[in-house]
Chains A and B, each alone.
Chain A
Amino acid sequence: MDFSSINPILLLASLMVAATPIILAAAGELIVERAGVLNLGVEGMMITGAITGFIATVTTGSPWIGFAAAAAGGAGLSLLFAFLTQILLSNQVATGLALTLFGLGLSALLGQGYNGIKAPEFGKIDIPVISDIPVIGPILFSHDPMVYVGIGLIAGIWYFLKYSRAGLVLRAVGENHEAAHALGYHVIRIRILAIMFGGACAGLGGAYISLVRVPQWTDGMTAGAGWIALAIVVFASWRPWRLLIGAYLFGGVTVLQLNFQAAGIAIPVEYLAMSPYIATILVLVLMSAGRAPGSLGKIFHASR
């Protein structure tokens, strides 16, 4: 075992990368849940985004088009969920599970013939001057653009929920859909838009895994990242900045166990590999969750 082989600067830098798919997916789900909808299909939307993004990138050669396709793929799949839960009033838990099972099958089908291909490189952007600062530079300012998109998304969501009128309406719909309906807001329409936003974000998160983190396509490659994103939203008590902390915590555990594996620590690889999932459970237990949106997971029907 050789701990000196672990470079703390590289470790923190790769932590930012490992957390990014979770940030993207969890940010979308946060909006969905603040609108009062529990979409358990994040994993399915992520994996769909991962493959649509991968196919688009391999075909066109442009990761940007790939990410756009991933967002479209995730949003498209989420429309199924929106239609079932909002128009046909189906149970959200069951429908979310169905979405995940369906997404895993769909992605495996679409991904045939794409196994083993390497995605084109998605270049880093070194922000001039500040990326040359020792220690902080490589950790914070020398990443691919999506890392910053993720952080920007969190900031945007925070501003949207806290300061914009539309954010206030969204929160009202999530807290009490009967009251929001009585005030004349279109509960169903707002929720469908929120679900689509969540799907697009999950798609981006999935594509980040298949295009940047790995970067290859294998069946079921999101390996529970969607579920972890769901857990992070609960951990964050539905607040954007806490979500960022949760995702970095998770990214830290992931990166650390990978480094331990590389350093040849005495713990078998399989036990190290389970640590992110155990850490997620521990975090869920230790952080007593804040108050969930009042109408979360409840079916809205204007008949009452």
Chain B
Amino acid sequence: MLMLEKRAQPSKAWVYAAPILAVAITMIVGGAVFAMLGKPPIEAIRTIFYDPIFGDFASYSRPQLLIKAGPLILIAIGLSFGFRAGIWNIGAEGQYIIGAMAAAGTGLAFYPMEARWLIFPLMIIAGLAGGMLWAAIPAFLRIRFKTNEILVSLMLVYVAEAIQASMALNLLRNPDGHGFPGSRNLSQYSSSANLELIANSGIHWGVMAAVTAVVFAYFILARHRFGFDVRLAGQSPRAAGFAGVDAGRLIFICMLISGGLAGAAGMFEIAGPAGRVSIDFNVGYGFTAIIVAFLGRLHPVGILIAGLLMALTYIGGELAQLSLGLPGAAIQLFQGMLLFFLLAVDVMTSYRIRFGKTE
């Protein structure tokens, strides 16, 4: 009979091994699913994980990798603070949308003025502020009324989607668009465009921001008092209370960090790769970032790697869709599976398996 025995200390080795093992199992089981769909499994896995970087069209897909990884990493870094402290902001998708709407509104308000030095920074601030504002709602309600932040932040995603639809149809609609929904193209307006900083590299301001966030998060978590408070509150809320950590303040700051970064990610996306406000501007980065945060062990460097990997499944998934006719939903399933297997394998981090008799 197999038994689980709690380890005195979480296993260091398994902390690193679990994500790698989870990816490996996902590839195997994912391959089996692809085979059931009548697609060649090995070719499909190669198309998803290998071709985007080393394949024939890699010069096209490699920049895409960074474009997709940027927002994922930025959002996941923000989420990791709250998740570490036991604060579950799962409405990053909504904060991402509102940040993008605030930034787009700011940029379009100045159209067609040419003042990049003013407009672009203002849009970043608007994105941050929009995301923070949207995250402040569940934070405030949690602190003041003890309302469950999971449910409120999630409900606000649907509200944000409705606002986005309204913006695309009414307020921010392109006046020269012949009545079609959607705003002017922000990436074609030189004062607001979030362009590639190095041609064909995929590196735009959002990618720079993501890398900066990784570095900052690393130092805050490892060296700053706030990072210590976050870890303490997550591991033992009672001990944190005795140590003088203000729980309400911690909730608020964690929510604002995640909301702000998600909003900023929305800003970089709408001013660059997406370009314009449309009904279907959001593509679920806010939810995928949850997987990224866990897969990266809530650690900044881990999130950087996990973000790149998850971006790879997006790009590779698109390639597989084109070349093998693999359905888009299969990739979504694949990403969900990854989180499942990670959580399953994770049991080994805090427990060891013993062979013995049940008592």
A residues with CB within 8 A of B: 40, 80, 83-84, 88-91, 93-95, 97-99, 101-106, 108-109, 111-112, 219, 223-224, 227-228, 230-231, 234, 268, 270-271, 273-274, 277-278, 280-281, 284-285, 288-289, 301, 303
- 6 smallest beta-carbon distances between A and B, as pairs: A102-B336, A105-B332, A108-B329, A105-B333, A270-B166, A274-B162
A40 touches B150 (CB 8 A): yes
Contacts A101-B339, A270-B165 given: A284-B148 contact, CB under 8 Å?
A: yes
Which of the four size classes fits the interface of chain B?
A: 35 or more
Within 8 A of A (CB), among B190-219: none
Measured CA separation A99–B339 after assembly (Å): 9
User: Closest residue of chain B to A101, judged by CB?
Assistant: B336
Extra pairs beyond A278-B159, A281-B156 (14, CB < 8 Å)? A89-B350, A93-B88, A101-B291, A101-B335, A101-B336, A105-B331, A224-B155, A231-B155, A270-B163, A271-B162, A273-B162, A273-B165, A274-B159, A285-B145
Within 8 A of A (CB), among B1-25: 4-6
B residues with CB within 8 A of A: 4-6, 88, 90, 141, 145-148, 150-152, 154-159, 162-163, 165-166, 169-170, 287, 290-291, 294, 327-337, 339-340, 343-344, 346-347, 350-351
Measured CA separation A228–B329 after assembly (Å): 24
Total of A-B residue pairs, C-beta within 8 Å: 138
26 A-B pairs with C-beta separation under 8 A: A88-B343, A89-B351, A93-B150, A94-B294, A95-B343, A98-B336, A98-B340, A101-B291, A102-B340, A103-B336, A105-B330, A108-B329, A108-B332, A109-B327, A109-B332, A112-B329, A224-B154, A224-B157, A230-B151, A270-B163, A270-B169, A277-B156, A278-B155, A285-B141, A289-B146, A289-B148
Centre residue among B157, B340, B346 by max chain A CB count within 10 A = B340
User: Closest residue of chain A to B332, judged by CB?
Assistant: A105
Q: What residues of B have a CB within 8 angstroms of the CB of A289 in the complex? A: 146, 148
Q: How far does the Cβ of B317 sit from chain A's closest Cβ, in whole Å?
A: 11
Measured CA separation A86–B166 after assembly (Å): 44
